[in-house]
Amino acid sequence: MTGAVFLDTGIFLSFLARDHEKRFLEARRLFEQAEAGHARLETTEVVLAEVARTLETKYHMPRGTVVEVMEAVMGTRNLRIPARKVLKRAIEIFAGGDLDFIEAYNEAYVSQRGLKRPGAFAGAGKPERGAGTA
């Protein structure tokens, strides 16, 4: 087995969307090698959050399908994800509510770390309608 290969958003999307055949084939080869134990892959929760958001917004994939895809990615053999536990919880939160994936990840992070949110920011989720920005 050679050194680990970093998977960025483009590799996941090329594989999942199959909108560029040459890139799809290369991505599929990487995943097949990892599944066979011949390659080690690594990515970050930031990449996977971007994948989830892109699948939902650009490819108009239903939330339930995004959840299935993210769970399948999490199950990929020989794929290292540094914050796997937080990401797993984020997928659960995303699946069960109306938070987008980034918000779900932040909620999972806050919960896992036992953090508090300050005063007016104590509720998870999006800002109130009509709220201005600083």
Of residues 104, 40, 36, 98, the one with CA closest to residue 70? 104
pLDDT at 65 over 70: yes
Of residues 124, 90, 91, the one with CA closest to residue 105? 90
Of residues 36, 41, 63, 44, the one with CA closest to residue 52? 63
Q: What residues contact residue 26 under an 8 Å CB cut-off, 6+ apart?
A: 11, 14
Question: What DSSP character marks residue 16?
Answer: H
Mean pLDDT taken over the chain: 89
3 against 52, higher pLDDT: 52
**What is 5-116's CATH topology?**
Rossmann fold (3.40.50)
Quote the percentage of the chain above a pLDDT of 90.
81
**What's the pLDDT score for residue 27?**
96
- Average pLDDT score over residue span 79-98: 94
Give the pTM: 0.83
What digits encode the pLDDT tens for the residues 5-51? 999 999 999 999 998 999 999 999 999 999 999 999 999 999 999 99
